[in-house]
Amino acid sequence: MGDAVLCYRAARGYEEAEDLLLVWGDIPLLQVETVSATCRTHFEHGNDFTFPTRHVTAAYTEVGRDASGRPLSVIETREAGAEPRAGEHDIGLFIIKKEPVLQKLEERLPGAYGRGTGEHGFLYIIKHWVDRGCRVEAIPIATERDLISLNRLEDLATLGDEQDPPATKPGPSCQL
């Protein structure tokens, strides 16, 4: 994912952007309320990196926090050689300060490449940001619908009645 995020440098509007809204392409039922609340939190708190989370029974990614509740890291269980277990999971939605994150991704810091896939990751950057003293906030606001992820054909079965979700009115925009 790190290399995919770095491709943004070639996008139209790159120069004007200060913050980026990054969403993995496999979460089709992301809720307007979740995006709006994440945007609001990011800008009101002056964060460098903000993402919603949810506690689940089998976390594919695990959010690590210190005793005060401050996020320390997010790891992908498959890249760490661990089995998913109960814990706090990011959902694949992030609001980030553009330049510092892209610069750190280019540095290929420790943990940049997955042990399982060899891919240049993205989530490892959170630990490096925290270690630098940047404002990183993980907010446990994600809904069950936000968690629905489609990676394989079999995943369509998880949609059930969600295949035709009701139309929703757009919420407040995220001014990035």
Q: In a structure prediction context, what are the per-residue pLDDT tens digits for the chain, which is 176 residues long?
A: 888 888 888 889 888 999 999 999 888 889 999 999 999 999 999 999 999 999 999 998 999 999 999 999 999 888 888 889 999 999 999 999 988 888 888 888 888 888 888 888 889 999 998 998 999 999 999 999 999 888 777 777 767 655 444 444 444 445 44
Phi first, then psi, for residue 23 (nearest 5°) are -135, 125
End-to-end CA separation in angstroms for the chain: 21
CA atoms of 171 and 85, how far apart (whole Å): 34
CA atoms of 85 and 83, how far apart (whole Å): 6
Amino acid at position 71, single letter: P
**What superfamily does domain 2-153 belong to in CATH?**
Spore Coat Polysaccharide Biosynthesis Protein SpsA; Chain A (3.90.550.10)
DSSP 166: P
Tell me what pLDDT residue 161 has.
56
